[in-house]
Structure 1
Amino acid sequence: MTTTIAPQLRAGRREWAGLAVLMIPVLLISVDNTVLGFAIPAISVGLHPTGTQLLWIVDIYALMLAGLLVVMGSLGDRLGRRLLLVIGSCGFGAASLLAAFSVSPEMLIIARALLGIFGATLMPSTLSLIRNIFSDDKDRRIAIATWAAMFSGGAALGPIVGGVLIEHFHWGSIFFINLPLIAAFIPLAIWLLPESRDPNPGRVDPASIVLSMLALAPLVFAIKHAMAAGPDMLFWVTVSVALGAGASFVLRQLALPTPMLDVRLFANKVFTSAVASNLLSIMGLAGFLYFGTQLLQLVLGLSPVEAALVLIPGLVTSIVAGYLVVPIVARFAPRVVVPAALLLNALGMGIVAFTPEHTVTGMLVAFLILGIGLGGAEVVTNDLILAAVPANRAGAASAISETAYEFGSVMGTTVLGGLSTFVFGSALHSAIGDDANRAQFDTLGSALEYTAGLGGQAAHRTAEAAVASFETGVQWAAGAAVVLVVIAAVLTSIGLKGAGRLLPGASAGAEGQEPRPCPKDDD
């Protein structure tokens, strides 16, 4: 009689060492997603980007990641996941150098786009290798907790590292931190990581690649454009292109015998709910880091290092919560744990949204609570995502999961960052009139630099109006994030009804199935 217990061998020292090596690319990707946080004021002054260019500098990286993760996950299934990791890390290092030496907003946008392209070769391989390295359910859940802790912790660590570097060096120094990590990763990956690939990967489909990019890039552009110019004809044209390409992509995947993205996985309510939870929670985090780092420096007057210290408690609690949730989810069903964690996330954002006057303490507490919720939810949802598919489809599942992460990051910056920028501009125009249309008032950093150069009482009043307008924009954006995360909590509470309590050694099955029985421990 065949059972599921036999192949579940406990991991040894080599497997855990391999996990440690896999955390290097996870750290690279997550840190680079948010490392620009404290560099935004310095970039605003150094390169003088427009408000729209500044948003593109921040999220073109995550946009390219989101658009190419599925493609690269499919490519890794074919060529080998370890091989793709090594190739991608080399390209990531070269793009980091280009970003560090950028001399114009356009050059930095191109460099960040290249970082996203090569970053997309790294992420799908990490979760899929974890799925193949750790056959025992207990070991895999600990490994996923480590992955999620490193991803969310790295996202919080990015602004901290950036703050310390910006305090002492040129803003381009934030990209040099990638180089020693890459130099260490390449030989360790070749030595410790096993090669794995899909035994029946099917052929590469160029049409699917084009359609996936046409579905994502125009949508983000449309949102950015609407924030700056309103929903005009260009907005509706680009939205139509995105929706048409998205529908065509889905239909093509359903028709292909071996699709690039197995959209049938979304028929599983548990899988879909877990992916949606990841997307919306990361969206809130990205928005918080975008406007929160500016608020700490430009409004509350902290130096980059002082502002970075405010985020450290949230970073620590995010990592700790990821590990503590492992025994908790063994006692309570995911449909209870995940919504509860998301509501903590919403509470943290709510402190920012509904506080009349922001303070350093309030921002520290808000990020601490947000970190607890985010760290707890990610471990459970990622385990549900991977457990819903067989091992040979781990690349497809992990690519979908990471696409949700990166698209959530894009949309957090685009929607929440764009909303804060739009409200800032509108409020400032109401306060000072037509002068707010000047290019110098596109961002708070450039506005404060411009008014400081003017001097006089009128300049002081204008600076105060700019700060007040920015705080209003932050409150609106944080309020929108609260709404999004509460929606995610409600949807997951409903959608995760098919996922029973995850007992130690058990995994969530597909929809309509019970979790696999817990094998007896030999130890």
Structure 2
Amino acid sequence: MATTASIPVQETDGPRVGARGWWALIVLMLPVLLVSVDNTVLSFALPEISLALSPSGAEQLWIIDVYPLVLAGLLVTMGTLGDRFGRRRMLLIGATGFAAVSALAAFAPTALTLIAARALLGFFGAMLMPSTLSLLRSIFTNRDQRRMAIAVWASAFSAGSALGPIVGGFLLEHFWWGSVFLIAVPVLIPLLICAPLLVPESRDPNPGRIDPISILLSMAAMIPVVYAIKSFAVDGPTWAGGAWAALGIAMGALFVRRQLRADIPMLDMTLFRRGTFSGAILVNLLSVVALVGFLYYVSQHLQLVLGLTPMVAGFALVPGMVAMIVSGLAIVPVSRRVSPHILIPAALMFSVLGYLLVAFTSGSIAALVLSFVSLGIGIGAAETISNELILASAPPEKAGAASAVSETAYELGAVLGTAILGGIITAFYRGALVLPEGLDAAATEAARETLAGAYTVSHDLSEPLATQVWDAATAAFGSGVGVTSMIGAGLVVLAAVIAATTLKTRTRS
């Protein structure tokens, strides 16, 4: 069927690529697999890290969130630098640094050291992700082939998320927690060898001058906003959190103003006037919030509440990850004939159903597996279509900047998923927790911080006090699941509404 676009995306098709292009795609999937494996592995390694390093509740959240925080602050800068100096060059620099810092993170002696290593991983990761997506834009100029390439690229996130718990679970059962970070080394070595041979260099032929003020403003806009979100999640509404949010918004306004006045801006703000671009960015953001928020809950529930080992818990998530991959690939031929403003809302209804299953079931393994399968169907389809629309809406020479905006939405969504949905569960947990008498002040404080903290405390106590603490903690953790799931479902519905109203593009019959 054909629909009329209010703001059409670029439909010009280039020549089709041969086998070399698809081999280049395989190489570019390696850093995507790595980043998704790293994120999932860390969630599953959190109980082991809690036992080994004894982080506070704030440190535990920082271990998870400092990576996407730094990443989100630098993605636009690194994407623009890739447009200027070469996207393949940025990819190789980022891969080298990521592998080296991963080895350092594996042997972090304290929680603060691990947080610092994760921050450095965010710095080098910011060079990886925009480069992979923008290089796909330059390699696959034929739109049909690009749709399939982006579907494969997006499925690499899902494949890595599925592979991460299994590989990570095996490592956690046989080695220490730091072994999960060493996965980066064997993954990135083939990239460093094959990328110069298979992936062509690409850059903006008219990049303009480097604007240090815009670089600083972009970082000064993203980092305070993300920090404020984290502050609200941990401490609730505070003057300090509000001040950080106001600072980030003010810096963002200055950044936008500077870009609009520049002859050759660091980020072309006119892209956001296109409904397909801005709408697809918002769909990306909300979809990732829903996905990461779900994984934050389910990874802890499977291991800590249901008592599964990390590897078994990882296998429990595989059906959902497979559903995400299959839906992302299967949607490609359909998207040639059906407008995204119909396809994405229809797909996201499966994700709404997944959250409702969590809200109204008992939290058994079968219920969680089924709910994640349903969630994955919607997220997989929505991510494939929205990422392709983002690239198709931007000029080829600005592919790095457009990819960086897409990745910024992804990483900001990861922070929001943990901060908002994870913060709500944590707030309900603290409000409902009733600890037995007999605990000292330090144990009481640790148990009240997080479920993982209560898990650590219960392992240090003798019976029957250990069982009493753990029973109280699991009951309190479950008290906020229903409300949090309904909020997650509401965010997915909002993404569907945005898609229905902004993504009306022309499609070929």
Q: Do these two structures clear the TM 0.5 threshold for a shared fold by scoring above it?
A: yes
| 1:220 paired to 2:226 | yes
- Aligned match of 1:192: 198
> CA distance change for structure 1 residues 475 and 209 in 2, over 3 Å: closer, same or farther?
farther
Distance across 2 between alignment mates of 1:237 and 1:81: 36
Distance across 2 between alignment mates of 1:325 and 1:468: 40
Alignment match of 2:63 (pick from 50, 57, 68): 57
- Aligned match of 1:520: none
- Aligned match of 2:139: 133
Contact 1:33 1:61 in 2 (8 A): no
> CA distance change for structure 1 residues 145 and 228 in 2, over 3 Å: closer, same or farther?
closer
Alignment match of 1:312 (pick from 304, 309, 318): 318
Alignment root-mean-square deviation, CA = 2.0
Which amino acid is the alignment partner of residue 30 of structure 1?
S
Distance across 2 between alignment mates of 1:6 and 1:157: 37
Q: CA deviation at 1:5?
A: 9.9
Deviations 1:442-466 (A, max 9, x none): 2212212313432344442222110
Which amino acid is the alignment partner of residue 57 of structure 2?
G
Alignment match of 1:442 (pick from 428, 441, 449): 449
Distance across 2 between alignment mates of 1:255 and 1:321: 42
Which amino acid is the alignment partner of residue 67 of structure 1?
G
- Aligned match of 2:428: 423
> CA distance change for structure 1 residues 223 and 198 in 2, over 3 Å: closer, same or farther?
same
- Aligned match of 2:5: none
Contact 1:334 1:500 in 2 (8 A): no
| 1:472 paired to 2:479 | yes
- Aligned match of 1:517: none
Distance across 2 between alignment mates of 1:457 and 1:430: 13
Contact 1:152 1:374 in 2 (8 A): no
Which amino acid is the alignment partner of residue 244 of structure 1?
A
Q: CA deviation at 1:415?
A: 1.5
- Aligned match of 2:172: 166
- Aligned match of 1:83: 89
Contact 2:32 2:157 in 1 (8 A): yes
State how 1:274-289 maps to structure 2 within 5 Å. Answer: 274-289=280-295
Distance across 2 between alignment mates of 1:342 and 1:470: 27
Distance across 2 between alignment mates of 1:484 and 1:431: 37
- Aligned match of 1:261: 267
> CA distance change for structure 1 residues 434 and 215 in 2, over 3 Å: closer, same or farther?
farther
Contact 2:435 2:472 in 1 (8 A): no
Deviations 1:359-381 (A, max 9, x none): 00011111111111111111111
Deviations 1:225-278 (A, max 9, x none): 223333222122111111111111111111122222222111011111111001
Contact 1:37 1:158 in 2 (8 A): no
- Aligned match of 2:458: 451
Which amino acid is the alignment partner of residue 282 of structure 1?
V
Mean CA deviation greater in 306-315 or 325-334: 325-334
Q: CA deviation at 1:478?
A: 2.5
Which amino acid is the alignment partner of residue 167 of structure 1?
E
Q: CA deviation at 1:144?
A: 0.9
Distance across 2 between alignment mates of 1:257 and 1:305: 54
Q: Secondary structure at the match of 1:35?
A: helix
> CA distance change for structure 1 residues 5 and 219 in 2, over 3 Å: closer, same or farther?
closer
Q: CA deviation at 1:53?
A: 0.9
Q: CA deviation at 1:161?
A: 2.7
Contact 2:226 2:412 in 1 (8 A): no
State how 1:335-484 maps to structure 2 within 5 Å. Answer: 335-355=341-361, 357-428=362-433, 438-484=445-491
Contact 1:354 1:475 in 2 (8 A): yes
Q: CA deviation at 1:479?
A: 2.4
> CA distance change for structure 1 residues 412 and 27 in 2, over 3 Å: closer, same or farther?
same
Which amino acid is the alignment partner of residue 472 of structure 1?
S
Which amino acid is the alignment partner of residue 376 of structure 1?
A
Q: Secondary structure at the match of 2:301?
A: helix
> CA distance change for structure 1 residues 200 and 371 in 2, over 3 Å: closer, same or farther?
same
Contact 1:37 1:162 in 2 (8 A): no
Alignment match of 1:18 (pick from 5, 21, 24): 24
Q: CA deviation at 1:354?
A: 2.8
Q: CA deviation at 1:7?
A: 6.7
Mean CA deviation greater in 26-35 or 119-128: 26-35
Which amino acid is the alignment partner of residue 481 of structure 1?
G
Deviations 1:4-43 (A, max 9, x none): 9997211111111111111111112222222211101111
- Aligned match of 1:301: 307
Q: How many pairs were matched up?
A: 498
- Aligned match of 2:3: none
Mean CA deviation greater in 434-443 or 231-240: 434-443
Contact 2:165 2:311 in 1 (8 A): no
Contact 1:315 1:371 in 2 (8 A): yes
- Aligned match of 1:183: 189
Contact 1:281 1:345 in 2 (8 A): no
Q: CA deviation at 1:151?
A: 2.1
Q: CA deviation at 1:429?
A: 5.1
Mean CA deviation greater in 481-490 or 456-465: 456-465
Distance across 2 between alignment mates of 1:431 and 1:239: 39
Which amino acid is the alignment partner of residue 309 of structure 2?
S
Q: Secondary structure at the match of 2:22?
A: helix
Which amino acid is the alignment partner of residue 366 of structure 1?
S
- Aligned match of 2:47: 41
> CA distance change for structure 1 residues 353 and 156 in 2, over 3 Å: closer, same or farther?
farther
* Runs of 5+ consecutive residues of structure 1 not aligned to the other structure: 504-523
Distance across 2 between alignment mates of 1:161 and 1:461: 33
Q: Secondary structure at the match of 1:36?
A: helix
Which amino acid is the alignment partner of residue 116 of structure 1?
G
Distance across 2 between alignment mates of 1:466 and 1:391: 52
Q: Secondary structure at the match of 2:321?
A: helix
Distance across 2 between alignment mates of 1:226 and 1:383: 33
Which amino acid is the alignment partner of residue 33 of structure 1?
N
> CA distance change for structure 1 residues 462 and 130 in 2, over 3 Å: closer, same or farther?
same
Which amino acid is the alignment partner of residue 364 of structure 2?
T
Distance across 2 between alignment mates of 1:406 and 1:473: 25
Identity among equivalent positions (%) equals 50
Q: Secondary structure at the match of 1:331?
A: coil
Q: CA deviation at 1:400?
A: 1.0
Q: Secondary structure at the match of 1:103?
A: coil
- Aligned match of 1:229: 235
